[in-house]
Amino acid sequence: MKSEAKARPAPRVRGRRLGAFVFLSPGLTYLVVLLLVPLGLVLSYTVFQRGRFGGVVYEFTTENFTRLIDPLYLGVVGDSLRIAGLTTLIALLVGYPTAYLIAQLPSRWKTLALVAVVLPFWTNFIIRVYAWIMLLSGPGLVNSALGKLGLGPYELLYHEGTIVTGLLYSYLPLMVLPLYAAIERLDPQLREASANLGASAFTTFRKVTLPLSVPGVLSGCLFVFVPSFGNFVIPEMLGGNKSTMVGNLIRDQFLKARDWPFGSTLALALIAVLVALLVVQAWAARRA
């Protein structure tokens, strides 16, 4: 009897487990239905063939993986890496001074500055992209201002620079916020000690502030690079047909070419790259 009583969990423990299950079940259901099941379908489609009129023919093949190294698709990946990398670099150069200045503000101004940073997120993503089209189009506000100065008009849309501008505008807050959090957490006594030891403000920044904020830099770079690399809305609307990124390529395989197996293989490759980046970021953050 004593052994059975020890084997069974106490009513309080069972109640806790039941409560935890009830609270976790919506999140677990969400993960299973909207993440694991679609991911399993994508993974399974990669080894099957495309149907004659689209869809999937359940006959095993490895051709989808060999097509990944086709120069045409490698070129698209290279363009995506270049655009996403340039966007991330500019976001870092703009976001770090912004986050640093916000961290130095008085408390009441910090809140207003942070609200200003996240304010664009209060508007729908597509509307923000359309706003850039209206600003940069032929009769738009920018060309009108340039025309009054005798400098225009110019064709400002459908360039790679326009795509980078759109991505930078959309994801800059994702760089500023982790940088601000990393700088705000720094112990001010460390900088005071550096100054008391005779270090200049630049030396204190270079040897104290910057190294200690590296985890924020890594997180911000990852938060900007990942959505920029897989984005297909901004390249489509601001880049026209002149630039194709990985996101556009995957969408076209599903909706236009109806080549679901190869689209799934591209999506799986993209997921693998992003997971590798997450692992590298976590490893670098631990060593920083």
In this prediction, residue 99 carries a pLDDT of 94
pTM of whole model > 0.95?
no
In this prediction, residue 178 carries a pLDDT of 94
In this prediction, residue 7 carries a pLDDT of 58
In this prediction, residue 4 carries a pLDDT of 52
Whole-angstrom distance, CA of residue 209 vs CA of residue 58 = 56
In this prediction, residue 176 carries a pLDDT of 95
Helical ranges in 141-205 per DSSP H: 141-148, 160-184, 188-196, 201-204
> Other C-beta atoms within 10 Å of 103: how many?
19
In this prediction, residue 194 carries a pLDDT of 86
Tell me the HSE value of 96 on the side-chain side, using a 13 A CA sphere. 17
In this prediction, residue 92 carries a pLDDT of 96
Whole-angstrom distance, CA of residue 261 vs CA of residue 253 = 9
CB 281 within 8 A of CB 269: no
Per the listing, tokens 């460390």 go with: 190
* SS3 category, 241: coil
Collect the ranges in the chain with pLDDT lower than 50: 1
